[in-house]
Chains A and B, each alone.
Chain A
Amino acid sequence: MTRIKRDSIAYLVIVGFSILMLTWGIPTYTPAYPGYGASPALVSNVAVGIMLFMACLSLLRIGVALYMNKPIPAEEREFPEDLEEGSSFTQVGRVKLYHLANIMIPSVLLLLVIDYIGYMLTAFAFLMVIQHVIGSRKWFQSVVLSIILTGVLYIVMRYGFGVPVPGPQIF
């Protein structure tokens, strides 16, 4: 997929989201105008309006460039594997879905099961999985690190901050 195509899809998603918010999300989930001050929906409508306008403007720019058969800048034609470009805060490049799934699935599972099987087991299993995912094959090191980290955070939270850890309590 070229970068221009990918950007166009992103703009279309933003347009769709904005229209959905303007026609359903904001009207349904905003209190009615109380009769004084600005409408509770004003700022949210302005914010979504800006998103919609900017996304349409960007799509228009791409559309005009394609229609007039203007040469597309090199960086927008091809989509390199990993770009060092973008600002120092972004890292423009391909979305690595497999990688993303490797980290996100254990994280979401942690969220779902911690209330049932408790902090200790979930934290230990989560840390083992994450270490395996990022390439650690030293089992002894992984087990030791998982036990230490689980224990240290338990002690810090329970006795340092007095906050109960999530899920059923063992101690």
Chain B
Amino acid sequence: MEMIIAGLLDAISPASLMFVLLGVAIGVLIGAIPGINGPMAIALFIPVTYYMSPLTAIGFLVGLNKGAFFGGAVSAVLLRTPGTPEAAATAWDGYPLTQKGKGEKALRMALYSSVAGDFISTVVLIVIAAPLAAVALFMGPAEIFALISLALTIIAGIGTNSINRGLMAAAFGILIGLIGTEPVTALPRLTFDIYQLGSGLSLIPVAIGLLAFSEILLQLEKFTVKGGAKQAAIVFSSKLEDRLLSFREFFKNIKTLLRGSLIGIGVGAMPGLGAPVASFMSYDQAMKRSKSKEEFGKGSLEGIGASESANSAVVGASLIPLFVLGIPGNLAVAMLMGAFMIHGMQPGPLMFKENAQLMYGIYGSLLLASLFLLLIGRFGLRYFCKAVDIPGVILYPIVVFTCVMGAYLGKSSMFDVGVMLLFGFIGYYMRKFDYSYVAFLIGFILAPEWERALQQVVIISEYDTFMFFQRPVAMGLMALTLFVIVRTFWNNIKDGRKKQLEEEEEVATAAAAVGEHKGD
């Protein structure tokens, strides 16, 4: 109990409050800018947190992530350009409302739904993470090795249409993650005699390069290749009923919000699925169960609520696998995991034992971030809307230069800037060729832990090849890994055949139509 009170008191210390608030505000602002998302924002701002206490740093980054999730809805609603992938479903109903001058009402619905989903999932995280972590403590190296193998397999499917390319990207990430000092011999490995690689590649330059710099390279194509993009002016109605959201309008959709939150929690708690899945799933369910289906896609507040409650609920729930098992379920959490490690903590079940006070402080910060999101959104909505108007010629040089200096900040080393540029270049090619940089990054982060678990298994088992057969949980997880691989390949083959049959049918139909036409 003392720990809980001390942790919560830490969370409400002035510094912590200020940085959580700042994180949420920056997150909303950044999320509102099309092309910049939560994980990218975390990558850019992790270097800034080097100089903060662990609680302040994590609180700031969590606030940033939560803010960015809502911020994504701003550009989705106002421009039909989702700031983040998970806000795509929000755009379907948000933008038609903007066209009717009701953009502010749509944004208010998005805000309240986001806060509701986020708050519910944070409460679920607080209630279930610690008991689950206590169970997870019984897991040994064999189970951890099997679990990371499973996570890597599931994650290989994210961010690409091809499991082959996903696995290649994850394997490449693992290879790059192994550069540095080998844990058993303590000798350099895969350093190619470059002394700066002796301690391995830092997460920050790699993440900034892959997430931020490569994204900017893509975004800038619009300017250097297409000569810039113009957007229509946004007009808000001055009528009060078009601007404000009544209690009746909000509570009419409460069932949808609760369903969306539960879907978000379920999806977020499972590694590899991510917020876009939750958002689309919830939207689909809301549409199927709605009494006014015909309004979906034309400006339905229910549609916005479904999408936003689900994608925001993923934020809290996705921390469950991180806190319980030490495995990041999505990109934003992978970045947070990196931040934990930078501040000297290894996410996982032991955190509740070793850093209990900090964990309760983080819980406090998570709840505060929800509250701040509500306040900032409620009173600053109109100002954040202006973020979508920042001209690219001003915004992008700032982001490019921030990438450069962010990479430099960690070790005050220009070598890291070079690493950032290299991974920006690799990331650009990965995106263009449909290789998952998400799988790469998670492979990169998990590689050392995976290898450590393997080394422990080999040493403890004294080279017993059948070690896994003596550990039922580990065996079950390895069997599940194999099942996931086989099932994914099978689905790929099935989808390919289906596509091919459809094409052949189309060709046959077209040929028949031409034949009939000639006959006439």
Interface residues of chain A, those whose CB is within 8 Å of chain B, are: 6-7, 10, 14, 21, 25-26, 29-32, 34, 36-38, 40, 42-44, 47-48, 50-51, 54-55, 57-58, 70-71, 73-74, 85-96, 98-100, 102-104, 107-108, 110-111, 114-115, 123, 126-127, 130-131, 133-136, 141, 145-146, 149, 153, 157, 161-164, 166
- Cβ 8 A contact of B158, one of A51, A85, A87: A87
Contact present for A30 and B189 (CB under 8 Å): yes
With contacts A37-B184, A51-B168, A85-B161 known, is A131 near B393, CB below 8 A?
Answer: yes
User: How near does chain B come to A6, taking the closest CB pair, in angstroms?
Assistant: 8
Q: Is the CB of B182 within 8 A of A31?
A: yes
Chain A contact residues: helix, strand, loop or mixed? helix
Establish whether residues B225 and A96, one from each chain, have CB atoms under 8 Å apart when the complex forms: yes
- Interface residues in B251-277 by Cβ distance below 8 A to A read 276
A30→B182 contact, CB < 8 A: yes
Given contacts A29-B190, A40-B185, A135-B393, list 8 more A-B pairs with CB under 8 A: A25-B190, A29-B192, A87-B160, A95-B432, A111-B414, A126-B404, A134-B396, A135-B223
Q: Are A89 and B85 in contact (CB under 8 A)?
A: yes
B168 touches A149 (CB 8 A): no
B408 within 8 A of A: yes
Produce 1/0 per residue, B390-427, CB < 8 A to A. Answer: 00111011101110110011001010011001000100
Per the bound structure, the CA–CA distance linking A110 and B189 in Å amounts to: 30
In the complex, the answer to whether B405 meets A47 with C-beta atoms within 8 Å is no
- Of the 9-residue stretches B100-108, B171-179, B283-291, B373-381, which lies at the interface with chain A? B171-179
B458 touches which one: A21, A30, A38, A71 (CB < 8 A)?
Answer: A38
Instruction: Indicate if the CB atoms of A149 and B408 lie closer than 8 Å.
Output: no
- The answer to whether B51 and A161 have CB atoms under 8 Å apart is yes
Min CB gap B56→A, angstroms: 14
Complex alpha-carbon distance, A146 and B398, angstroms: 9
Contact assessment for A149 and B433 in the assembled complex, using a CB-CB cutoff below 8 Å? no
Q: Which residues of B contact A94 (CB under 8 A)?
A: 432
B436: interface (CB < 8 Å) = yes
**Which of A44, A73, A161 is within 8 Å of B503, CB to CB?**
A73
Interface pair A70/B500, CB less than 8 Å apart: yes
**Interface pair A91/B401, CB less than 8 Å apart:** no
Q: Does B451 contact A (CB under 8 A)?
A: yes
For the complex, is B243 an interface residue (Cβ under 8 Å from A)?
no
Nearest first, the 4 A-B pairs at minimum CB distance are: A88-B85, A89-B159, A31-B187, A134-B223
User: For residue A74, which residue of chain B has the nearest CB?
Assistant: B503
CB contacts (< 8 Å) of A110 on chain B: these are 404, 417
**Residue pair A87, B458 in contact (C-beta under 8 Å):** no
B515 within 8 A of A: no
Which residues of the other chain, A, contact B188 by a CB distance below 8 angstroms?
A: 29, 31
Given A71-B503, A87-B436, also A102-B184 (CB < 8 A): no
Assess the A163–B409 pair: CB atoms within 8 A.
yes
Min CB distance A15 to B, Å, is 11
Closest to B421 in A: A107
Contact across chains for A50 and B167 when beta carbons are under 8 A apart: yes
Taken together as a complex, chains A and B put the C-alpha atoms of A42 and B51 apart, in Å, by: 37
Task: Produce 1/0 per residue, B443-464, CB < 8 A to A.
Answer: 0000100110011001100000
| Inter-chain contact B168/A54, CB cutoff 8 Å | yes
Interface residues on B, range: 35 or more
Binds A, one of B120-128, B214-222, B353-361: B214-222
User: Are A149 and B397 also in contact (CB < 8 A) when A86-B160, A92-B432, A161-B51 are?
Assistant: yes
A29-B431 contact in complex given A57-B164, A135-B227, A163-B409, C-beta closer than 8 Å: no
- Complex contact B421–A108 (CB within 8 A): yes
A89 to B, closest residue via Cβ = B159
Contact of A161 with B437 in the complex, beta carbons under 8 Å: no
Identify the closest chain B residue to A94 (Cβ): B432
The smallest C-beta distance from B177 to any residue of chain A, in angstroms, reads: 9
Q: Which residues of B contact A162 (CB under 8 A)?
A: 51
Contact in complex: B160, A90 (CB < 8 Å): yes
Verify A37–B458 contact, CB threshold 8 A.
yes
Q: Does residue B231 face the partner (Cβ distance < 8 Å to A)?
A: no
Q: Contact: B171 with A135, CB < 8 Å?
A: no
Cβ B414 vs Cβ A115 within 8 A: yes
> Is B389 at the interface (CB under 8 A from chain A)?
no
CB-based contact A87/B454 at 8 Å: no
In the bound complex, how far is the Cα of B172 from the Cα of A25, in angstroms? 14
CB <8 Å contact, B221 and A40: no
Interface positions, chain B 60-92, Cβ under 8 Å from A, are 85, 88
Question: Chain A residues near B160 (CB, 8 Å)?
Answer: 86-87, 89-90
Are B447 and A43 touching (Cβ within 8 A)? yes
B383 to chain A, nearest CB (A): 21
Residue B224 is within 8 A (CB to CB) of chain A in the complex: yes
Distance of A115 Cα from B418 Cα, bound (Å): 13
Please, how many angstroms separate the alpha-carbon atoms of A44 and B225 in the complex?
Answer: 40
For B159, what are the chain A residues with a Cβ–Cβ distance below 8 Å?
87-90
User: With an 8 A cutoff between CB atoms, is B471 at the interface?
Assistant: no
Are A149 and B401 in touch, CB under 8 angstroms?
A: yes
* Chain A residue with Cβ nearest B222: A134
Contact with A along B318-329 (1 / 0, CB 8 A): 000000000000
Asked if B499 contacts A73 (CB within 8 A), the reply is: yes
User: Given the complex, which residues of B lie within 8 Å of A38, measured CB to CB?
Assistant: 184, 454-455, 458
Smallest CB separation, B270 vs chain A (Å) = 17
- Collect the chain A residues with CB atoms within 8 Å of residue B401's CB: 123, 126-127, 130, 149, 153
Chain A CB count within 10 A is highest, among B190, B397, B412, for B397
Partner pick for A145 among B170, B397, B434, CB 8 A cutoff: B397
Chain B residue at minimal CB-CB distance from A81: B225
Could you list some 5 contacts between A and B, CB below 8 A?
A29-B188, A40-B182, A99-B224, A100-B428, A135-B393
B430: Cβ under 8 A from any A Cβ:
yes
- Asked if B168 contacts A14 (CB within 8 A), the reply is yes
Q: Is the CB of B503 within 8 A of A163?
A: no
A88, B171: Cβ atoms under 8 Å?
no
Judge whether A92 and B433 touch: CB under 8 Å.
yes
| B228 at interface by CB-CB < 8 Å | yes
The answer to whether A103 touches B414, judged by C-beta atoms less than 8 angstroms apart, is: no
Interface pair B500/A73, CB less than 8 Å apart:
yes
Q: How far is the CA of A62 from the CA of B116 in the complex (A)?
A: 48
Assembled-state Cα–Cα distance A79/B48 (Å): 42
